Structure 1
Amino acid sequence: MEQTGCAVVGGGPAGMMLGLLLARAGVEVTVLEKHGDFLRDFRGDTVHASTIRLIDELGLGDAFRRLPQSRLNSVAFPIPGAGMVTIGDFASLKPPYNYIAMMPQWDFLNFLATEAAREPSFTLLMEHEATSLMFDGGRVAGARYRTRAGTEGELHADLVVATDGRHSVLRRAAGLQPKEYPVPFDTWWFKLPRHASEKGAVAGIVPAFRDREAMIALFRDDYYQMGYLAPKEDSARIRSEGVDRFRERVAALRPDLADRVDAIRSLDDLHWLDVRLDRLRRWYVDGLLCIGDAAHAMSPVGGVGINLAIQDAVAAADRLAPALLGGRVTAEDLAAVQWRRRMPTVIVQTVQRIMHRVVFVPLFAGRTPGPPPALLFVLRHVPRMRGLLPRLIAFGPRPEHAPGFARRHQPRGTHGNH
């Protein structure tokens, strides 16, 4: 019989960070990841200052900064008639946490997996897809899985943590139903080549707007990761219009990239994301805890989903490691994790819902988008708010610190010299 202390289902940022932290506490932890590697496009790439600080506290700052990355030093928004309005200038924050790192998520996940593998109590099982839960007297007692080869198995655990994303199999198996909030758009992700003359140490998320559509561009080493945003009800029409019409839309939004839209060979080159914004009323049942997107699916607005999920993992590890080492995790322990992380989740989702109403609903209705004039005035003329917003973006509400059991020594001050 396969047995572990904590079965973590899903090898995304929350799952890998939780696995690393619990293993450093000495908990036997097994992460089940359904894919064979982390090399999947069109995932979030922002590593916020709160996460960078956490990595430093874990003694991994130097290794993290050696990974290929670029720095996002500010967040600006194009407002018709007002130009680019900066809503977050991270230079006002105290170094070395005065930027957001931009790196491919697969590099970040490989980094976490490598560090976790150094811990003797950590196991990562790739190509193991969780299919259902096991119960013992009403309590979750483990997870069933299927390998890519078709072999089925059971992993018994003192606790199962679902980090398997917005379409979580485990939360559905536990009967946990999220409350959903309306989202006015979906995102179509695709790649465009980035010429050698355009390369350099540039980080950013470049938005463009037209009538009833928008697009963002994220920089990669040799390509742009593009996200085309359109009203949810337009998905069928976009498919029916075909690839030539889609190329025209891209060229109209970004004329500077019109010379390479033929790289979109067919609609098969597009990755459609059904954008959701939801939150479980209850994140747990006895023996099972949901965190990250499994507990609260986030809108891509602000790019905060990864970091909110990682903060969930830190809070969960801090509370649950002693209970797991003691041999019994109670429902009260799981409720305590939800209590600590619910408020930050509500705040971030509320801000995202406001951004949906203020920017995207008017845009997709054919009206000029943009924040209210009073907000523009505050952003430009109220120094306290100009200092508060960058910190909220970079750290979020209630950022977590590494538990004492997970910290490792790093030469003092080295991480500030990068």
Structure 2
Amino acid sequence: MSEQNARLRADVCVIGGGPGGLMLGLQLARRGHRVVVVEQSARYKRHFRGESVSPDSVRLLHRLGLMDTIAARGDFARTTRFEISDGGAPALRVDFRDISPDGSLPTEIPQQVLLEVLAEEAARHPGFTLLRRSSVIDLLSSADGRITGARCTGADGPLDIHADLTVGADGRFSSVLELSGLPFSKRPLGRDVLWFKVPLPDAWDDDTVRVRIDRDRHALMLPTHPRSLRVGLNIPKGGLKQVRAQGLAALHGQITAFAPELGPAVRTHLTRWSDLSLLDIFTTSVPRWSRPGLVLIGDAAHTLSPILGQGVNHALMDALALAPLVSRALAAPDRHRQLTAAVTRFQKLREPAVERTRRTQSAQERAFGLASAPAVRVRQQAYRLVDSQPWLKHWLWRRIYYPLRLA
């Protein structure tokens, strides 16, 4: 190690200041531990990142005293309904007020707001440090192969962070996963998504999520604060070059075909390609989320499809499950051995829920990808069958949005 590298000591080093990383940092700092969170960005400008927070996560944010702070800012929008139209006709409608066990509803929280609230609350604790504009460039290890921290670079130069546990919370393109030596496989899905934001049409309410499907194409429309709409338009895998070659006018036409109500807004507000953001859709399978001294959480451990907006929720749940296990291990005399046991236990606790979501998303991805006329008719009939049976509809949606209440 170079003598020029500055050094920092912590109980836990978290790489990635997204929802999972900051929530974990906050929970460990509340328990009196020294935590360093390393974050690349200088400010949280994440307009096209996940904003959909599940009812279970909303309930936990309330329990932690954080939802009141978010509510005081007014920067959120509650979702009461979910609607699917297929082939231009309504196919499935869900009212969350009818199925919520306790009145909690899916909520759209701008990720910038959520991250700022988490960071501000964590900063109240003396053991918490947030390093912005910093990136991991390598992992530190001992002679026996145990990960002992991370080598980072930032505005002030190189920094070695020594920690009993290093946590990779750096998302779907995780550098920690790449550096860890843990085996993983990445499976590209058959589409990408173009995200953009436009004003909410005057004729639309601000609490309904809408999905419009046309054969093997679909668009997802999510109301967000203030009276705006986040829209995800699926395109063929690697198809951005072709979309751009056709021009913005052609893209306006595609969007309008899905939702004529959006025609004026997209022509007015989508005037440059920089007004859109491309999301490369893939899933990552990591059989083992940890090795001695290191553990992965959130998308770094289990990248999911954006279907049903579960990425943020699993990251938050990972952090809340991991924090007490790590805290108890850090208090033990043989903390390194106990930490290894703790991160193994963490995966056993969380993996079943992640795999349930992955199976649900895979089934929905396959349904969205149906293109032949007979297959599309079967899909439409399946949606309408579910819609016609309230008990079945409620059972399915509770399993997706309220799994903790049913556990």
TM-score > 0.5 by shorter chain: yes
How many residues are matched?
394
CA apart distance, 1:367: 6.0
| 2:194–2:277 Cα contact (<8 Å) kept | yes
Q: Select between 11-20 and 223-232 the one with higher mean Cα deviation.
A: 223-232
- Are residue 6 (structure 1) and residue 12 (structure 2) matched? yes
CA shift, 1:267, in A, is: 2.2
Structure-2 residue corresponding to 1:368 = 376
Q: Which moved more, 1:128-137 or 1:289-298?
A: 128-137
8 Å CA contact 1:211, 1:367 repeated in 2:
no
Amino acid at match of 2:244: R
Gaps of 5+ in 1: 401-418
Which residue of the partner structure matches residue 223 of structure 2? Answer: 219
Q: 1:256 to 1:370 in 2, by over 3 A?
A: farther
SS for the counterpart of 2:302 is coil
Q: Spell out the pairing of 1:14-163 with structure 2 (5 A cutoff).
A: 14-67=20-73, 68-80=75-87, 83-87=90-94, 89-97=96-104, 99-137=105-143, 138-147=145-154, 149=155, 151-163=157-169
> Could you report, residue by residue, the CA deviation over 1:321-344 in whole angstroms, capped at 9, with x for unpaired residues?
111233434322211111111111
After superposition, where does 1:163-312 map in structure 2 within 5 Å? 163-194=169-200, 197=202, 202-220=206-224, 221=226, 223-260=228-265, 261-312=267-318
Q: CA deviation at 1:375?
A: 6.2
Residue in 2 aligned with 1:319?
A: 325
Task: State whether residues 88 and 386 of structure 1, in contact with CA within 8 Å, keep that contact through their aligned partners in structure 2.
Answer: no
Q: Which of 337, 347, 351 does residue 338 from structure 1 map onto?
A: 347
Q: Is the 8 A contact 1:217 1:224 kept in 2?
A: yes
In 2, the alpha carbon distance for the partners of 1:176 and 1:364 equals: 40
Q: Give the 5 Å matches for 1:341-360.
A: 341-358=350-367, 360=368
Q: CA deviation at 1:163?
A: 0.5
Q: Summarize the Cα distance change of 1:386–1:189 in structure 2 as closer, same or farther, 3 Å threshold.
A: closer
Partner residue, 1:410: none
Deviations 1:258-297 (A, max 9, x none): 1232422232322111011122111011111001000011
Supply the AA of the counterpart residue of 1:238.
V
One-letter amino acid of the structure 1 residue matched with residue 369 of structure 2: V
Q: Structure 1 CA distance, aligned partners of 2:264 and 2:217?
A: 20
Q: How far apart are the structure 2 equivalents of 1:153 and 1:59?
A: 34
Q: What whole-Å deviation, never above 9, does each CA across 1:283-321 have from its counterpart, x for those lacking one?
A: 011111001000011111001111111111111112111
- 2:389 corresponds to: 381
Relative to the length of structure 2, the TM-score reads 0.89
Question: Structure 1 residue 361: deviation in Å?
Answer: 1.5
Aligned residue for 2:43, secondary structure, equals: coil
Distance 1:89 1:191, change over 3 A: closer
Change beyond 3 A, Cα 1:321–1:82: same
Q: Distance in 2 between matches of 1:339 and 1:166?
A: 21
The one-letter amino acid paired with 1:331 is T
Residue identity in the other structure for 1:203:
D
Task: Give the TM-score, by structure 1 length.
Answer: 0.87
SS in 2 for 1:274: strand
- Once structures 1 and 2 are overlaid, which stretch shifts more, 185-194 or 347-356? 185-194
Measure the CA separation in 2 of the matches of 1:216 and 1:96: 24
Report the 3-state secondary structure (helix = DSSP H, G, I; strand = E; otherwise coil) of the residue aligned with 1:66: helix
Asked whether the 8 Å contact 2:195–2:233 carries over to 1, the reply is yes
**How far apart are the structure 2 equivalents of 1:370 and 1:15?**
42
Secondary structure class of the residue paired with 1:362: coil
Q: Distance in 2 between matches of 1:22 and 1:48?
A: 23
- Amino acid paired to 1:89: F
Give the match's secondary structure for 1:154.
strand
SS in 1 for 2:78: strand
State the one-letter code of the partner of 1:389: L
Contact 1:90 1:394 in 2 (8 A): no
Residue 193 of structure 1 deviates from its aligned partner by 3.7
The residue identity in structure 2 corresponding to 1:343 is: P
Q: Deviations over 1:30-86 (max 9, x none)?
A: 111110111221011112111122123223343233242121113222234862412
Q: Per-residue deviation at 1:365? A: 9.2
The separation in 2 between residues aligned to 1:27 and 1:369, in whole angstroms, is: 56
- CA distance, structure 1, for counterparts of residue 371 and residue 404 of structure 2: 28
Q: What is the CA-CA distance between 1:394 and the residue it aligns to?
A: 2.2
SS where residue 275 of structure 1 aligns? strand
Give the CA deviation at 1:182.
4.8
Give yes or no for contact 1:164–1:293 (8 Å, CA) kept in 2: yes
**1:173-219, Cα deviation, whole Å (9 max, x unpaired):** 01223233452211011232447x5697x223222233543222222
Q: Secondary structure at the match of 1:111?
A: helix
8 Å Cα contact 1:80/1:370 also seen in 2: no
Q: 1:150 to 1:314 in 2, by over 3 A?
A: same
Q: Which residue of 2 aligns with 1:413?
A: none
State percent identity of aligned pairs.
29
- Are the counterparts in 2 of residues 212 and 231 from structure 1 also a CA contact under 8 Å? no
